[in-house]
Structure 1
């Protein structure tokens, strides 16, 4: 192993089985922190040559990459310890590895189990990396983010399309008492920052919320009462030692107070451990009466939904058939107030919608829409039944408006989805404020009149970059607040300035926390 580094903490560590596995994750890196590649085995000359070419291409983009990959020569049963040793030396903020549960390529009908053709060491190293990053974060006490790159997904699709466990878009929310809280997944669990007082710049956090060993993704949803609900995936051992994955859910009732217990929502393929491990990441939505719908992409690449009534009782899993979908779902209240789900089609550049007219009605598949999203760009819009996305043909941001069709919001630079919040007062007008990632992680903000995206959006850079998608919310004083996570792992916020000057933000505040 290479010599220990001093200083330059907060970089990126790409931890993979062999040099060839690092090529696509490296292609996603932008200029910024130093990137180290850690391999469990030296690989073939062809793999090493491919990595050398990827490192040269990264350097041409302004990415700082260590000259030589680290080879840890991990023996079976010792991979976690060796990866942990590497992380202690490198001290990264972001750890990237491959999918710990890669997708099956076929089915063994006789044995009744999925067949995975990915080399077993890839999954073993990924699982060991997640465990090592979790332990490292608990040791160092600083945030450590981890991303799992989908095996075989080209980096040209962008970070969100390549992530097995997506980061939340709506991770800044206002609680019942008016204080804002930020929630982000980390290697060791969910991190939370909370305003100390309504509208103030002093925050507590980051606090590591207690809970199960979650996989590194998060869905953040608010119900009609203002309570915050967190959804994720956990990997657990069954009584016989077999690995299973299930959907879990916890509720935050009061800002800054203890998070409620995590409860299992189950898995639509919960009778088979191999199938359960391929479940997609959950998307969830509430209606006004408190009915909760949780959607996931199942093993067969259709959608499964499970509902919980206001009385707390869960339905069984229901499968919504008709179109095979990618692991990219957006749940939200529909035009009738009943939760619905949008999904990107797996085999076409299209998004389709399942909806119901009444809570007890039949699910209807609407596959005749005009939504053509680039992978990894779907997000919910505030208007019922609307979604935002980047148009697959031009990368520009669009919104699908019921009864109108697609409306362009401009912004063809950058990657990934757009977050937004409605009801922001700008010079006496109710407006929707949008945030997105621009080139090299820049945080860009735009706005349009509520319900009138056709009026156009002017995007501007607010002067910070973020290692996660930027978030926006309305604080307890009615002002728009934008949040990012810097390359040092610290939360940064900027708040809308009052007055008649339009949409103007105060200087950024770096949250000191506790």
Structure 2
């Protein structure tokens, strides 16, 4: 299997009609799945910007041209998380901060949905906050979220006393109240994953190690947290389903500084690399007939890095390649409508760039295309 990706050979794509605002510059990368594939096979890229977010959409399945950016206003948005359900609906969870009475501030979590590629968003709805006093909520972080196979959205946030708080939809579409799932010492946003057996699992780095919450059955209450004496760097945990109803968690190990893969019941496997303190983009796909995991991250020098190895076969080795393209935050990965791996990043200039899997064996990337403004 030819593993070495091609180096970036940057080019520019004009990308269709300009946004309704005066610029198309992102303020960084969103959290979660900010590169999504719709039911029609087209990819959409989302990024936060001043006063809201920006959206670019492929004009045809597989590209290479994109329309956008289109500006979606969200006043007071400070953090943005994007997740997609099995029904292809894209959900947006944001942390919103607005001036309050007496010089204070009102902080809440907001939610909106895009039901179809390129169409308008739903209205933004406030989900409130698990924190009675925003001043005691700790450093602001983006919410974590995942969508169960039945389409219900689950939102996770560091709650009171550093534990885990949950707000989720009921089957009838209404939202249940915030729930306290316990735990403590969570240092950053947790990683949540919806498994194909209908259950949800959550993994968080904490002061005491790793905490894991699980649903014994779809739609049920969460058990845990169960603690493990492991040392991930807070803010680096990502999750991927690597077997039926089985999650593998990826993170940066606090002792070695390299990537690691872990499944409950075993020990972490070192994957090497020198990633920075951000979550990984994770993707499972077939390469040359092999079931593979593809990871993307930002290294300590700010460059985008691509890694790959066999699914649940980490001991056989993992291969990393620096792509010589600097980025903000974590990159994103997705499969386009032709089944090709696509990697996206937000450049240091605030402009999105994308590269695709080339034809042929292994995983080599085409040149980087800069989406227009």
Q: What TM-score, normalized to structure 1?
A: 0.63
Distance 2:34 2:89 in 1: 14
How much has 1:354 moved relative to structure 2? Answer: 1.3
The answer to whether structure 1 residue 225 and structure 2 residue 87 are counterparts is yes
**Larger deviation: 254-263 or 400-409?**
400-409
How much has 1:366 moved relative to structure 2? Answer: 4.0
Decide which of 85, 94, 111 is 1:249's aligned counterpart: 111
Distance 1:138 1:336 in 2: 42
Kept in 1: contact 2:310–2:316 (CA 8 A): yes
Change in 2 beyond 3 A, CA 1:375/1:279: closer
Counterpart of 2:330 in 1: which secondary structure? coil
How much has 1:360 moved relative to structure 2? Answer: 5.2
The answer to whether structure 1 residue 379 and structure 2 residue 238 are counterparts is yes
Distance 1:235 1:313 in 2: 24
Aligned length: 352
Decide which of 187, 191, 203 is 1:330's aligned counterpart: 191
The answer to whether structure 1 residue 368 and structure 2 residue 227 are counterparts is yes
How much has 1:273 moved relative to structure 2? Answer: 5.9
Q: Which residue is 1:174 aligned to?
A: 37
Kept in 2: contact 1:482–1:494 (CA 8 A): yes
More strand by share: 2
Decide which of 263, 274, 278 is 1:401's aligned counterpart: 263
Decide which of 301, 307, 311 is 2:162's aligned counterpart: 301
Kept in 2: contact 1:333–1:385 (CA 8 A): no
Counterpart of 2:360 in 1: which secondary structure? coil
Counterpart of 2:359 in 1: which secondary structure? coil
Distance 1:508 1:273 in 2: 41
Kept in 2: contact 1:244–1:273 (CA 8 A): yes
Change in 2 beyond 3 A, CA 1:227/1:360: closer
Q: What TM-score, normalized to structure 2?
A: 0.86
Distance 2:219 2:279 in 1: 32
Change in 2 beyond 3 A, CA 1:339/1:427: same
Q: Which residue is 1:487 aligned to?
A: 348
Counterpart of 2:315 in 1: which secondary structure? helix
Kept in 2: contact 1:212–1:234 (CA 8 A): yes
CA RMSD of aligned residues (A): 2.6
The one-character-per-residue Cα deviations of 1:365-421 (angstroms, maximum 9, x if unpaired) are 243325310232112223333211111101110111233331221113544332121
Aligned positions of 1:144-183 closer than 5 A? 144-145=26-27, 167-183=30-46
Kept in 1: contact 2:283–2:334 (CA 8 A): yes
Distance 2:250 2:268 in 1: 9
Change in 2 beyond 3 A, CA 1:229/1:176: same
Q: Which residue is 1:461 aligned to?
A: 322
Q: Which residue is 2:151 aligned to?
A: 290
List structure 1 segments (4+ residues) > 4 angstroms apart after TM superposition: 137-140, 237-242, 272-280
Q: Which residue is 1:143 aligned to?
A: 25
More helix by share: 1
How much has 1:277 moved relative to structure 2? Answer: 8.6
Which runs of 5 or more structure 2 residues have no equivalent in the other structure?
Answer: 1-18
Change in 2 beyond 3 A, CA 1:191/1:139: closer
Change in 2 beyond 3 A, CA 1:439/1:267: closer
Counterpart of 2:73 in 1: which secondary structure? coil
Q: Which has the greater radius of gyration?
A: 1
Distance 1:240 1:359 in 2: 44
Aligned positions of 1:380-459 closer than 5 A? 380-383=239-242, 384-412=246-274, 414-423=276-285, 425-459=286-320
Aligned positions of 1:15-26 closer than 5 A? none
Distance 2:34 2:225 in 1: 29
**Larger deviation: 174-183 or 442-451?**
442-451
How much has 1:242 moved relative to structure 2? Answer: 5.0
Q: Which residue is 2:7 aligned to?
A: none
How much has 1:324 moved relative to structure 2? Answer: 3.0
The one-character-per-residue Cα deviations of 1:274-299 (angstroms, maximum 9, x if unpaired) are 55797753111122122322111123
Distance 2:183 2:324 in 1: 45
Distance 1:362 1:398 in 2: 29
Q: Which residue is 1:258 aligned to?
A: 120
Q: Which residue is 2:16 aligned to?
A: none
Distance 2:67 2:349 in 1: 17
